[in-house]
Chains A and B, each alone.
Chain A
Amino acid sequence: MVAYALDELSKSEGDFDQCWILAFRAITLMNFQVAGQTVTVRLPVLGNKTVPLPANCLSWTKIGILDDRGQINTLRINNSLTTFRDNNPNRLEDLTPNINTSIGSLALVPYYSNYFYGGGCFQLYGVGNGVITYGDCKVDEKNRVIILNTDFRYDSIMLEFLDCPEKNNDYEFFTCMQEAVIAFIKWKLRLGSREEFYGAVTEGRRSLPKKKVELQTINQVIRESSGMKLRS
């Protein structure tokens, strides 16, 4: 793409590196805006029940564990988990509870009855039930670690995230965004305008894989919206 831009602008090899940096910025910008491609990795759980985020992770989209059907089951976000010493290998030992089992933190919580039948209140399991939870997590953005509950039982987790172009690597990007990258370079070299860039982004965005109208997309809508239900 950079060579295309240099050719269009009749620039020399001397401008390659500067334009390469501009292309890098264009890709980062468009990743955030329209063209982000998530990547999925399996990360080992450290002994202190935390998982460091990969260096190229811009923002995460799914944290979960893999089931036997190849699906990611997401972990419950538990904001009560503390970030205290979460980058310390001895995190678990340092989490000295103020309340421990000898006091019984849940001892005084009353039974919750949600069903009334025949003059009495009962617990009816299954109503208002959430999704099955395999564990809790919280992301500490400052220390860049995922914190898991202290009794998390699995060796690894699956992380799906939006990545940024890494240093010292060529970076793959949507071909439909090619003209947008070139427009960005022209804009920053003061040979184009911001409007032209966003025009090219809008044009490219219409060709992104999930933006095209295909039979499969329509089938998916039918699958998700139709079912055995009362119709008016």
Chain B
Amino acid sequence: MPSLIAYTKAQLVERVTKHLVSDFPGQDWKISSNEMLLYIDQSLAFTVVGQMYAMAKVEGNLATPEGWLTTYNVASPSVDTPSGYWYVTLPQPPVSLPLGYSINRVYAAEAGSGQSMDFFPIKAKRVGYRKYMPMPTGGRYWVDGSKLWLAANDGGSLNQYTFYVNMIKTRTESMSETMNLPDDAIEIIFLMTVKTILQRYAIPQDTVLDNLPPGNKAS
């Protein structure tokens, strides 16, 4: 099997930069890598949500493309003493898709016992009245912002477990990490980033077209 080159954000930043300056950037290049990353990350989130709704129009149902998913190990949860609920901090707030699509899976694991059953997602609007209805055996979770709340149906302690969250990732950990996204999404992200930066900085572009009349171009 041939070894493929890992596609990183550093490469995407490099590619956008080279495209904009038509060469390697010189002294007058003002856009930092971090700034460009912000544009890239916002395009990532916008692209995945748009891609999923476009796909839903064809398939008739929402589905998260597997290429976007990343499983995070979020370590052991802490307990919120007054409420008695457990929580972990997510690497980022979930994208604006229904729970079950933004966050795909949450499960616990413990050395020796292996992986638990998946925790049941409770959508934000149901959290308040959920406890008045019968509860299936197992754990449940709900999200506010980047906080993931966890509870077992019997109110048991979740202290010793390590939690894993499988969710859509649209943020940057490091420039050199491999990007979790399907290759077909790169084009949209590239174009969106270039378009935003061009508008923002009004970078002049050479118009390279044959058959144009000589002299200054009016439009």
Q: Which residues of A contact B (CB under 8 A)?
A: 9-18, 20-21, 24, 165-170
A168 in contact with B135 (CB, 8 Å): yes
From A10, A14, A18, A168, give the contact of B134 (CB < 8 A): A168
Least CB separation from B62: chain A residue: A12
A165 in contact with B134 (CB, 8 Å): yes
Kindly state whether residue B183 has any CB partner on chain A within 8 Å: no
Residues of B within 8 A of A15 (CB): 100
The smallest C-beta distance from B123 to any residue of chain A, in angstroms, reads 7
Question: SS class of chain B's interface: helix, strand, loop or mixed?
Answer: loop
Kindly state whether residue B120 has any CB partner on chain A within 8 Å: yes
Residues of B within 8 A of A12 (CB): 62-64, 98, 100-101, 104
Kindly state whether residue B126 has any CB partner on chain A within 8 Å: yes
Given contacts A20-B136, A165-B134, A170-B137, contact A13 B123 (CB under 8 A): no
Kindly state whether residue B105 has any CB partner on chain A within 8 Å: yes
Contacts A10-B59, A12-B63 known; 16 new A-B pairs at CB < 8 A: A10-B60, A10-B63, A12-B64, A12-B100, A13-B104, A13-B105, A14-B99, A14-B123, A16-B100, A18-B126, A20-B120, A166-B134, A168-B134, A168-B154, A170-B136, A170-B137
B98 in contact with A10 (CB, 8 Å): no
- For the complex, what is the distance from the CA of A18 to the CA of B133, rounded to whole Å? 10
The smallest C-beta distance from A157 to any residue of chain B, in angstroms, reads 28
Residues of A within 8 A of B136 (CB): 17, 20, 168, 170
From A16, A21, A169, give the contact of B121 (CB < 8 A): A16
B100 in contact with A13 (CB, 8 Å): yes
Number of residues of chain B lying within 8 A (CB) of chain A? 27
From B118, B134, B140, B153, give the contact of A21 (CB < 8 A): B134
Cβ contacts B149-188/A at 8 Å (1 or 0 each): 0000110000000000000000000000000000000000
Least CB separation from B100: chain A residue: A14
Q: Could you list 15 A-B pairs, sorted by A, with CB under 8 Å?
A: A9-B61, A12-B101, A14-B101, A14-B121, A15-B100, A16-B120, A17-B121, A17-B140, A20-B136, A21-B133, A21-B134, A168-B134, A168-B137, A168-B153, A169-B137
- For the complex, what is the distance from the CA of A65 to the CA of B185, rounded to whole Å? 73
From B60, B121, B126, B154, give the contact of A13 (CB < 8 A): B121
Kindly state whether residue B122 has any CB partner on chain A within 8 Å: yes
Question: Which 7 pairs show the lowest CB-CB distances between chains A and B?
Answer: A14-B100, A12-B100, A10-B61, A14-B99, A17-B120, A167-B134, A14-B121
The smallest C-beta distance from A199 to any residue of chain B, in angstroms, reads 24
The CB with the most chain B CB atoms within 10 A, among A13, A18, A169, is that of A13
- For the complex, what is the distance from the CA of A111 to the CA of B99, rounded to whole Å? 78
Which residues of B in the span 90-111 have a Cβ within 8 Å of any Cβ on A? 98-101, 104-105
The smallest C-beta distance from B154 to any residue of chain A, in angstroms, reads 7
Given contacts A12-B100, A169-B137, A170-B137, contact A17 B122 (CB under 8 A): yes
The smallest C-beta distance from A55 to any residue of chain B, in angstroms, reads 13
Residues of A within 8 A of B121 (CB): 13-14, 16-17
Least CB separation from B105: chain A residue: A13
A24 in contact with B134 (CB, 8 Å): yes
The CB with the most chain B CB atoms within 10 A, among A14, A21, A24, is that of A14
Residues of A within 8 A of B126 (CB): 17-18
The smallest C-beta distance from A12 to any residue of chain B, in angstroms, reads 3
- For the complex, what is the distance from the CA of A18 to the CA of B118, rounded to whole Å? 15
Cβ contacts B127-138/A at 8 Å (1 or 0 each): 000100111110
Cβ contacts B31-68/A at 8 Å (1 or 0 each): 00000000000000000000000000001111110000
